[in-house]
Structure 1
């Protein structure tokens, strides 16, 4: 049975009870200590949030904000143009990007995106599978940005 009580940070919290094997509880306590959580509740809440986010990402209709992080070989002919063209093709979802020159011919690019999760995954997949991209990762959060220009078009 759940119990609700006031919480200064978010208004109220609901207290629940869970059962788990002793070994799992010991691993949880080790993780709580190792990652610096204040309590088991905070750690479990973070894990539940991560799972709910993944669930929303898989459903695909929620608008989310996130980043696409790419590591690629900048010496591959035409790759940077292909990446720029993909960003232009998805101008409604791509908010901003930043690239950093790394050692050798490597480049890291971080692209801030917002839109339906399935659309963002499609953009990340299109970028990550280009020849010369070493690795690509989409990281989403269950949040959205306010409109960039609330007054509408200029």
Structure 2
């Protein structure tokens, strides 16, 4: 079992009150668990900023499938980045709109480039890169 370290934090009372309200809404049993999650998120974001580590994530886009080029470009892009694109999920939202979730893993700089290319395609109505970690470096 890993050693647990206790430390003190000084913050304004009103900031702590807001924090306590949110962690209660989210169902945390105590501040320590919420702070651990915040620290892990901080570490994951740093992995993405540095760009040297292998990272993982999802790119989610909503697009109009009637735009002929978007479907072709989507497929071409997935073949161009075959080493980084692990999987994709396609959902028909209605008669014109589709949701595509692309699971990616690789160097952060490459993953960001893939996301930028996907999200900027003509016909894409909304897109978002959700960055996470392979978990290898997290405790």
Q: Point out which structure has higher relative CO (alpha carbons under 8 A, 6+ apart).
A: 2
- Normalised by the length of structure 2, the TM-score is 0.92
Q: Which runs of 4+ in 1 moved over 4 A?
A: none
Larger Rg: 1
Query: Is the contact made by 2:61 and 2:119 (CA closer than 8 Å) also made in structure 1?
Result: yes
TM-aligned CA deviation for residue 72 of structure 1: 0.7
Q: Which residue is equivalent to 2:103? A: 112
RMSD over aligned CA atoms reads 1.5
Q: Which runs of 5+ in 1 are unaligned?
A: 1-5, 146-154
Q: Which runs of 5+ in 2 are unaligned?
A: none
Q: Which residue is equivalent to 2:3? A: 12
Q: Which structure shows the bigger proportion of residues in helix conformation?
A: 2
What is the count of residue pairs matched by the alignment?
A: 136
Find the residue that maps to 2:58 and give its secondary structure: strand
Judged with a 3 Å threshold, the aligned counterparts in structure 2 of structure 1 residues 21 and 144 are, in CA distance, closer, same or farther, namely: closer
Matches within 5 A, 1:2-151: 11-143=2-134
Find the residue that maps to 2:72 and give its secondary structure: helix
